[in-house]
Chains A and B, each alone.
Chain A
Amino acid sequence: MKVQCELCPKECLIEPGQSGECRVRINLDGVLRTVVYGYPCSINIDPVEKKPLYHFLPGSSILSIATVGCNLHCKNCQNWEISQANPEDGNVAAYFCPPEKLISLAKTNRCSSLAYTYTDPVIYYEYTYDTSKLAKENRVRNVLVTAGYINEQPWKQLLQYIDAANIDLKGITEDFYRDVCSATLKPVQQALVLAKACGVHVEVTNLVIPTLNDDPEDIRQLVRWVKVNMGGETPLHFSGFFPRYKMRNLPPTSLKTLETAREIAISEGMDYVYVGNLQSKEGSNTYCPGCKSLLIERSGYTILKNRLGSGYCPNCGKEIYGVWR
């Protein structure tokens, strides 16, 4: 008997013995099964800035995990070796690591939070859900790094345990999502708005790809959408693209393009706009939107100076959006 997975908007209709588009949710004897629960292919301790999260416990270490598989198939995927892998192909080995062991690893390595990242936590939903629930009980915070391609009901259920999320807004047109990511824009926008409405600390990332979504008017439209629907205080990251996977024909994004995107966002009234994947002095730092004084100085993922102990600007007293302790 066929099964239908209702986790993400693709709603795959899966034949017996087959998997959905994500490659890790399969139909076995008429029952939908997840093959990656408890089997991450990557476990590492990263700086939280790498996610990127610049307004969430800056300078802290975060235990970061991923399983193979993804519900999107972005032609430019930077992690395609794991995101587009089939577990049974044998190219990527996994670790046995049930939720309890992850919490114990986070605690013994003094990580204040756990990140579900690298591929997309949506596809290992049950593992993410159970681990984040257990983490919450053990005072370990939960971070999602996701494309936000998920249906409303499971998203709401998961968000109750999530402290912060970096959600990609990969483009602002349906054409871009269809042609580059094999997905659609609307569900991502709904996921972004819902996450913020549920009280999750949200930062947004836009990967700027030359000729595909780097038109200043597209960027302006994307920024306006973020400002209107999520607020000007939402940290926005413009990341540089590198030729990978099925998109090796385009050049890497120039620093100038990223800095132009940042200028557009600031001119549209966004308070915190960053440049990622390339070294940008001003685009790495956090400035007070009130008095413009430097609050956090960064070099790559390293914090050089942090004047923001309490979450307020020490110069003018303005409250800075984020989770600071």
Chain B
Amino acid sequence: MTRRKFIRRLIGAGSTIVVGASWLITKASPRRFLRAVRLKKYPGPLRPLGDISKPSKWSG
């Protein structure tokens, strides 16, 4: 192998490692959110609003 070929292979391998590592980091690092987006449909059961005039049984 000539020196030129060796250097070409070295650069190729190096750039593959750099691209691969940066892809991994992007994939592995989470997207950060301060605010959540509203989900339109409630996943649980719904009921109609009844009498709200009495104090709640819950504390607070």
A→B interface (CB under 8 Å): 1-7, 13-14, 25-26, 28, 30-39, 42-47, 50-51, 63-64, 66, 68, 78-79, 82, 86-90, 92-97, 105, 109, 117-118, 125-126, 145, 151, 153-154, 166, 301
Contact = CB atoms under 8 A, between A and B. Distances in A.
Q: Which size bracket describes the interface of B in this complex?
A: 20 to 34
Max count, chain B CB within 10 A of own CB: residue among A25, A92, A95, A301: A95
Nearest to A35: B39
Q: Chain A at the B interface: mostly helix, strand, loop or mixed?
A: mixed
Interface of B: 27, 30-39, 42-49, 52-56, 58-60
Nearest to B52: A43
5 contacts: A3-B30, A32-B31, A92-B44, A105-B52, A126-B36
A89 B45 CA distance: 9
Given A44-B54, A79-B58, A79-B59, A87 B37 contact: no
A44 B49 CA distance: 10
Given A3-B32, A93-B45, A78 B59 contact: yes
A301 B45 CA distance: 33
B19 to A, nearest CB: 19
B53 A45 contact: yes
A49 to B, nearest CB: 10
A4 B32 contact: yes
B39 A37 contact: yes
A121 to B, nearest CB: 10
